[in-house]
């Protein structure tokens, strides 16, 4: 693997001048630092996916079955029949180019095949050749090309250089969802065992043990107990959260990253403290112990299988509804797919906050509420005693996670919470937030170590906007509601914006939360001294 | 403490082939292979905790939990070993394979 690029090397390498040759004549070059290792036989076997074998994308031979071309074309035909959206998105693009400069990977790399229009064209050209009359008759003149091994490798390289963030779709006058094209591309690649290990590994761990990290029930409990110990140190309050409790009102599901890695563990401590303070009749589950879904980056079928356990556990425990933690892609799956994949969840009730009485009509179908909605509602009804000055050492900006912002329209709730728990909040420029938010650059399973150049190039657009508020307002903390963001942005901020930390919103909630019977707080959840009262700690 | 085994059996990535063949001397040899000097008592305390945690939970502990358990500041592991994966390796724990990359990226403290 090549040496990772330095920030100035990336900046200097960006060249937006298109190559002189037409794109079809430029063969794909699999560049180190820009791709992830191939899925291992072990992981694919666990998931029961085809062509399980160990392979190396940088080798010439990808160990494909002899009839691979038929497999892809049959897979494409099946999906064109099954998904009307896919057929539509193959047909209607007029190549206007409105999406071209909206992709963080194009902005950070200058590679024209990272323009969403051209990335989709890699597949459309094959679609035309085999599924449209003009393409069959006119070939290249009709924008069509044969599917050969180089085209397949090009698909693999570029469909794993898209984070399915859908920023391009916001600008498409036809509303083409490029993420769905990438999803279909990855589905077809998976028919040949062409996944990446950073997706297949966690997906197989989730299939076996219920979560991406492969944490067993007693390990989950041990990690939570460690956090409880830290909470007691900070607040003097001993919390005893319920696990797998039958008859609880609410099942709580969050991404497993929050149970293991900083700064997600602090967010997790935030959930524990909030629920304790409310006296919520809820439960954790060591079976439905993953909110995220790396199956979604593999195939719809795999995603559906991994998602199944959430409703199954809700049914087994007899809860009324489900509350979900801070995560990004988890919510695209829950909000847009779960109900039809594994529902209807008619054994659950329309979610109603036991604290405020608010009925979450928006979650009538899925019966699952995002914690940002839940907490914003609590604050709105004056149910939380908050001391925002405890967060006075922070100058905060907010990164909208792609999937919660564009996938389910959660735009105001986190901002409402942040404004109530801290005194220094500044927005990034308008074109980089809300539905136009820039991706962290590492989503959709690309958060590996070996593709660091790709991630840092893809993270540049987001980091550039953070840098702007860092320089202008002294921002030192990037808040978000996504577990992948918490991991990916930490790396990206260290690289592009040193001095900016990363936090989940509920970590800040817990720091501001004045709990009944707590001792005077001396530190925040990270064990750092609280800012001095009276302005000394203010920035 | 057992007599050190003269031939330290490691796999292709330098992980101890048999987890049970670990002792203080083996740890010193593994540390040398990783370019670290003689192990101090603080480092050994961390390694022993990692092993006991692994025996019970088959996983890497939350990084700052390691330090709390050996009564050290919360960045102790990365300060002593720089790379948590090196600590895992010197503790003689099994090669986690690709999963190690997950530890790397889900643990921003070390990188």
What digits encode the pLDDT tens for the residues A237-288?
Answer: 999 999 999 999 999 999 999 999 889 999 999 999 999 999 999 999 999 9
A159 and A23 co-located in one domain: yes
Residue A36 located in a structural domain: no
Last residue of a domain, one of A194, A215, A246: A194
* pLDDT for res B6: 57
Domain-located, residue A37: no
Of A216, A223, A487, the CB nearest to B58: A216
Q: DSSP letter for A479, please.
A: E
Answer yes or no: do A91 and A171 share one domain: yes
Q: Which of A40, A218, A261 sits opposite B106 (nearest CB)?
A: A261
- Determine the distance in angstroms separating the CA of B22 from the nearest CA of chain A, rounded to an integer: 23
Q: How confident is the model at residue A156 (pLDDT cuts 50, 70, 90)?
A: very high
Residues A336 and A445 occupy one common structural domain? yes
Contact A223/B62, CB-based, under 8 Å? Answer: yes
**Separation CA A180–CA A195 (nearest Å):** 17
User: A251 phi and psi, to 5 degrees?
Assistant: -95, 130
Domain membership of residue A451 (yes or no) is yes
Structure tokens at A268: 């997790």
CA distance A265 to A263: 5
Q: Of A80, A93, A90, A165, nearest to A123 (Cα)? A: A90
Question: For residue A534, what pLDDT band results from cuts at 50, 70 and 90?
Answer: low
> A272: closest CA among A230, A247, A239, A244?
A239
Report CB contact under 8 Å: B106, A223: no
Query: What is the predicted pLDDT for the residue at B102?
Result: 44
Backbone angles phi, psi at A521, to 5 degrees: -80, 135
Q: How confident is the model at residue B73 (pLDDT cuts 50, 70, 90)?
A: confident
Rounded Cα distance, A161 and A182, in Å: 9
> Which 5-44 residues of chain B touch chain A by CB within 8 A?
none
Q: Is the pLDDT assigned to residue B2 strictly greater than 80? A: no
Alpha-carbon distance of A190 to A130, in angstroms, equals 20
pLDDT bin (cut points 50, 70, 90) of residue A478 is: very high
Q: Which residues of B touch A448 (CB under 8 A)?
A: 101, 105
CB atoms within 10 A of CB B9: 10
Other CB atoms closer than 10 Å to residue A103's CB: what's the count? 28
- Cβ contacts (< 8 Å) between B108 and chain A: which residues? 261-263, 487, 490-491, 494, 502
Sheet of A396-398, strand order:
A396-398, A477-480, A501-504
Taking CB atoms and an 8 Å cutoff, what residues of chain B touch A223? 61-62, 65
The answer to whether residue A429 is domain-embedded is: yes
pLDDT at residue B108 greater than cutoff 80:
no
Q: pLDDT at position A539, please?
A: 39
Is B52 within 8 Å of chain A by CB?
no
DSSP annotation string for A3-30: PPPPHHHHHHH---SPPSS-GGGS----
Return phi, psi of residue A427, to 5°: -85, 150
- Tokens standing for residue A153: 């490798």
Domains held by chain A: number: 2
Q: Of the candidates A194, A221, A238, which is a domain's last residue?
A: A194
The answer to the question of residue A54 being in a domain is yes
CB A298 within 8 A of CB A267: no
Residues A222 and B47: their CA atoms lie apart, in Å, by: 19
pLDDT bracket for residue A392 (50, 70, 90): very high
pLDDT digits (tens, 9 = 90+) for A368-390: 999 999 999 999 999 999 999 99
- B64 in contact with A, Cβ within 8 Å: yes
Average pLDDT, chain A: 96
pLDDT of B107 over the 80 cut: no
| B71 inside 8 A of chain A by CB | no
Same structural domain, A279 and A322: yes
Q: Is the pLDDT of residue B14 over 90?
A: no
**Residue A77: domain span:** 7-30+50-194
Does any domain span residue A487?
yes
Q: Which residues of A touch B71 (CB under 8 A)?
A: none
**A123, A116 Cβ separation under 8 angstroms:** no
Has residue A83 got a pLDDT over 80?
yes
Q: Report whether pLDDT(B110) > 50.
A: no
Mean pLDDT of B10-27: 90
**A353 and A309 in one domain?**
yes
Whether residue A105 is found in the same domain as residue A227: no
Using the Cβ of B72 and the Cβ atoms of chain A, whether some distance falls under 8 Å is answered with no
Return the residue of A nearest to B109 by Cα: A262
Residue B109: band (very low, low, confident or very high) from pLDDT cuts 50, 70, 90: very low
Helix, strand or coil, per DSSP, at residue A38? strand
Q: What is the pLDDT of residues A193-209, one digit of tens each?
A: 999 999 999 999 999 99
Burial bucket for residue A443 (CB in 10 Å: 0-12, 13-18, 19+): buried
DSSP A338: I
Q: How far apart are CA B84 and CA B88, in angstroms?
A: 6
Q: Which domain-ending residue is among A163, A194, A225?
A: A194
Query: Rounded CA gap, A152 and A193, in Å?
Result: 12
| Secondary structure of A141-174 in HEC code, one letter for each residue | HHCCCCCCHHHHHHHHHHHCCCCCCCHHHHHCCC
Domain shared by A235 and A187, yes or no: no
pTM for this entry: 0.93
Nearest to A143 by CA among A25, A24, A20: A24
Nearest to A29 by CA among A154, A119, A159: A154
Residue A457 structure tokens: 């190039």
Check A449 against B101: CB less than 8 A apart. yes
Least confident of A142-151, A435-444, A501-510, B41-50: B41-50
- Chain A residues whose C-beta is within 8 A of a chain B C-beta are 37, 40, 197-198, 201-202, 205, 212-216, 218-219, 222-223, 226-227, 229-230, 257, 260-265, 447-450, 487-488, 490-491, 494, 502, 527
Stated as kind and residue range, the H or E segment containing A310 is helix A300-317
Banded pLDDT at B106 (limits 50, 70, 90):
very low
Same structural domain for residues A143 and A227? Answer: no
| Residue A461: C-alpha distances to residues A15, A162, A165, A406, A447 (Å) | 15, 14, 13, 17, 17
Is residue A2 a part of any domain in this protein?
no
Let me know whether A499 and A363 are in one domain: yes
Cβ neighbours of B98 in A, within 8 Å: 37, 40, 197-198, 201
Rounded Cα distance between A221 and A284, Å, is 10
Any domain includes A419: yes
Residues from chain A contacting residue B56 (CB–CB below 8 Å): 218, 222
CB A388 within 8 Å of CB A423: yes
Which of B62, B99, B107 has its CB closest to that of A201? B99
Q: What percent of chain B shows pLDDT beyond 70? A: 79
Which residues have a Cβ under 8 Å from the Cβ of A532 and sit 6 or more positions away?
Answer: none
A188 and A223 belong to one structural domain: no
Are A148 and A213 in the same domain?
no
Tell me the C-alpha distance between A299 and A297, whole Å: 6
Whether residues A395 and A258 share a domain: the answer is yes
Tell me if residue A323 falls in helix, strand or coil.
strand
């Amino acid at each position: 693997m090549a040496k990772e690029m330095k920030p100035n090397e990336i900046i200097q390498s960006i060249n937006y001048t298109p190559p002189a040759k037409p794109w079809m004549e430029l063969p794909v070059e699999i560049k180190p630092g820009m791709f992830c290792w191939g899925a291992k036989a072990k992981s694919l076997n666990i998931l029961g996916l085809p062509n399980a074998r160990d392979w190396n994308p940088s080798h010439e031979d990808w160990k494909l079955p002899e009839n691979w071309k038929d497999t892809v074309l049959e897979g494409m035909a099946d999906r064109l029949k099954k998904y009307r959206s896919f057929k539509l998105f193959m047909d209607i693009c007029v190549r206007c180019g409105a999406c071209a400069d909206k992709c963080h990977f194009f902005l950070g790399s200058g590679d024209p095949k990272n323009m969403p229009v051209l990335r989709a064209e890699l597949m459309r050209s094959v679609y035309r050749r085999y599924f449209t009359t003009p393409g069959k008759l006119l070939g290249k003149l009709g924008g069509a090309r044969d599917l050969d091994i180089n085209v397949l490798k090009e698909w693999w390289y570029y469909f794993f250089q898209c984070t399915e963030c859908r920023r391009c779709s916001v600008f498409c006058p036809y509303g083409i969802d490029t993420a769905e094209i990438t999803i279909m591309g990855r589905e077809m690649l998976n028919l040949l065992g062409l996944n990446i290990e950073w997706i297949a590994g966690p997906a197989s761990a989730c299939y076996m043990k219920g979560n991406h990290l492969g944490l067993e029930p007693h390990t989950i409990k041990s990690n939570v107990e460690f956090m409880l110990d830290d909470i007691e140190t900070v607040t003097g309050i001993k919390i005893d959260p319920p696990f797998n409790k039958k008859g609880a009102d609410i099942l709580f599901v969050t991404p497993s990253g929050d149970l293991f890695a900083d700064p997600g563990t602090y967010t997790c401590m935030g959930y524990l403290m909030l629920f304790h303070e409310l006296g919520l009749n809820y439960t954790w589950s060591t079976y439905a112990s993953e909110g995220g879904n790396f199956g979604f980056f593999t195939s719809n079928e795999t995603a559906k299988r991994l998602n199944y356990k959430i409703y199954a556990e809700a049914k087994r425990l007899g809860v009324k509804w489900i509350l979900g933690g801070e995560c990004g892609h988890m919510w695209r799956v829950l909000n847009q797919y779960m109900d039809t994949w594994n529902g209807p969840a008619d054994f659950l009730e329309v979610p109603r906050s036991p604290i405020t009485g608010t009925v979450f009509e928006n979650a009538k179908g899925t019966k699952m509420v995002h914690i940002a909605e839940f907490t914003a509602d609590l604050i709105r009804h004056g149910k939380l005693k908050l001391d925002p000055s405890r967060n006075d050492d922070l100058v905060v900006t907010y990164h909208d996670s792609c999937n919660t912002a564009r996938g389910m329209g959660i735009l105001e709730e986190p901002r409402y919470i942040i404004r109530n728990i801290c005194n220094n909040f500044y927005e990034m420029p308008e074109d980089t937030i809300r539905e136009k938010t820039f991706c962290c650059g590492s989503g959709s399973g690309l958060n590996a170590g070996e593709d660091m150049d790709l991630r840092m190039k893809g993270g540049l657009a987001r980091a550039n906007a953070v840098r702007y508020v860092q320089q202008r307002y002294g921002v030192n903390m990037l808040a978000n509601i996504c577990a992948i963001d918490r991991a990916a942005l930490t790396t990206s901020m260290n690289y592009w914006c040193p001095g900016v930390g990363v936090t989940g919103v509920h970590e800040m909630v817990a720091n501001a939360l004045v709990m009944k019977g707590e001792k005077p707080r001396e530190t925040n959840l990270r064990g750092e001294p609280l800012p001095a009262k009276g302005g000394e700690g203010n920035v | 403490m057992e007599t050190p085994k003269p031939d330290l059996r490691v796999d292709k990535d330098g992980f101890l082939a048999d987890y049970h063949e670990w002792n203080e001397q083996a740890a010193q040899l593994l540390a040398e292979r990783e370019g670290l000097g003689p192990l101090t008592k603080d480092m050994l305390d961390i390694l022993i905790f990692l092993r006991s945690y692994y025996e019970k939970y088959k996983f890497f502990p939350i990084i700052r939990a390691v330090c709390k358990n050996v009564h050290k500041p919360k960045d102790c592991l990365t300060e002593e070993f720089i790379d948590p994966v090196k600590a895992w390796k010197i503790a003689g724990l099994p090669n986690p394979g690709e999963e190690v990359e997950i530890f790397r990226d889900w643990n921003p403290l070390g990188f």
